[in-house]
Amino acid sequence: MRRKLVLGNWKMNGSRVDAHSWAAAAAAVAAATANADVGVIPPVVFLDVVRAASDSSPLWLGAQNVAAYDNGAYTGEVSARMLAESGVRCVLVGHSERRQVFGESDVVVAEKYVRALAAGLTPVLCLGETLEERERGATDAVVLRQLQAVIDAAGAASLSDAVLAYEPVWAIGTGRTASPAQAQEVHALIRSAIAKHDAMLSSLVRILYGGSVKGSNAAELFAQSDVDGGLIGGASLVPADFDAICRAANQDG
């Protein structure tokens, strides 16, 4: 049985005051949900605020981005080792906003994944198709291509130290959630692709769903057999909503 995981991705939102109150609420629900893991992924300048507000809570601390390089003349970048030293446990790689707004290719995403692993961080590898790709029937090919780029760079066995997140781009921040059946179909596809390398590993790897998850739809998404929790954007900025989502994961855990 895979333990559910709920991660709140704050994106580029909030102030230090907000960060403190969101983190305190998340730390409280993390402590109250014994059957599920809970984490928050703040802007990197708020890591210290979240750490202070969640002291002695099991809350996971995440980062939204990581450099594809170890160290050196890369102005504006933050390395995986720096994140690890700052208490970060997991880092998003391949989020669709990084792929689309910042033009990160599969190769760059795979480099970031490798750096994260090397620093002892858990990469949260995001996979997902755009609306145009879904409409022309390319969902499976896109998701499998994104997964394969990481397997080529780091090997399938590396997935035992990673978390996957299926995030259809058309569902992110749009209020348009994938139906539980649509999510399950792609999650099962991802799991069966991993099973071709290692059946045991495929049964253990956690695959989160992301894209307009709310308190009102979390339970039915998390009830799908291959959905192991959620990557939550907008609803993670509203403590009551994030709380409800974490409790839905805990029920199912």
Complex with ligand PGA: residue 37 or 167, whichever CB lies closer: 167
Half-sphere exposure of 217 (CA within 13 A, CB side): 19
Does 239 bind ligand PGA (CB under 6 A)? Our answer is: no
Vertex 234 angle, CA 131 and 55, to 5°:
135
Give the Cα separation of 59 and 41 in Å (integer). Answer: 10
Q: How many residues does the chain have?
A: 253
Place of tokens 């939550």: 232
Give the Cα separation of 222 and 228 in Å (integer). Answer: 6
Complex with ligand PGA: residue 202 or 212, whichever CB lies closer: 212
Does 39 bind ligand PGA (CB under 6 A)? Our answer is: no
Complex with ligand PGA: residue 97 or 202, whichever CB lies closer: 97
Q: Which of 94, 233, 239, 253 binds ligand PGA (CB under 6 A)?
A: 233
Q: Which of 211, 229, 239, 253 binds ligand PGA (CB under 6 A)?
A: 211
**Minimum CB–partner distance for residue 157 and ligand PGA (Å):** 26
Give the Cα separation of 245 and 39 in Å (integer). Answer: 12
Q: Which of 231, 246, 248, 249 binds ligand PGA (CB under 6 A)?
A: 231
Q: Which of 23, 38, 66, 213 binds ligand PGA (CB under 6 A)?
A: 213
Complex with ligand PGA: residue 156 or 249, whichever CB lies closer: 249
If one counts every other C-beta atom within 10 angstroms of the C-beta of residue 62, the result is 26
Considering only CA atoms, which of 74, 85, 92 is closest in space to residue 8?
92
Residues labelled catalytic: 95, 167
**Which residues inside 118-177 make contact with ligand PGA, applying CB under 6 A?**
167, 172-173
Please name the residues in contact with 37: beta carbons below 8 A apart, sequence gap of 6 or more.
3, 4, 5, 6, 30, 58, 60, 229
Q: Which residue is nearest to ligand PGA (CB)?
A: 233
In the structure, how many helices (H) and strands (E) does the chain have? Answer: 11, 8
> Per CB under 6 A, which region of 32-40, 109-117, 227-235, 241-249 contacts ligand PGA?
227-235
Q: Which of 6, 9, 187, 249 binds ligand PGA (CB under 6 A)?
A: 9
Which chain residues interact with ligand PGA by CB under 6 A? 9, 167, 172-173, 210-213, 231-235
